[in-house]
Amino acid sequence: MSEKKEDGHWKLIRHLDIAPREFLMIGNSLKSDVLPVLNLGGHGIHIPYHTTWAHEKIDAKIEHENFRQLVHLKEILNFL
């Protein structure tokens, strides 16, 4: 996705014709990939990458029932 803000995610959810709770975003950016989806009621899985752009970093800890933090991509299989 080139537009990783809530509006862009809403556009994709509508295009897929699904409810936000049925949407899962997996990404390496909390700010761009995960938080917008959680704000819409979807699910977000964060898999950190060894480098992160400064504008993608956040200081807050995410406490959300639809959020998961994983170390390796293969751990996703436990949630699908």
Task: Examine the pLDDT at 53 and tell me if it is beyond 70.
Answer: no
Give pTM, 2 decimals.
0.81
Per CATH, which fold does 6-78 belong to?
Rossmann fold (3.40.50)
Segments in the chain forming alpha helices (H): 6-16, 35-39
Segment 7-18, tens digit of pLDDT: 889 999 999 999
Q: How far apart are CA 47 and CA 14, in angstroms?
A: 25
Q: How far apart are CA 51 and CA 63, in angstroms?
A: 23
How is the chain split into domains, by residue range? 6-78
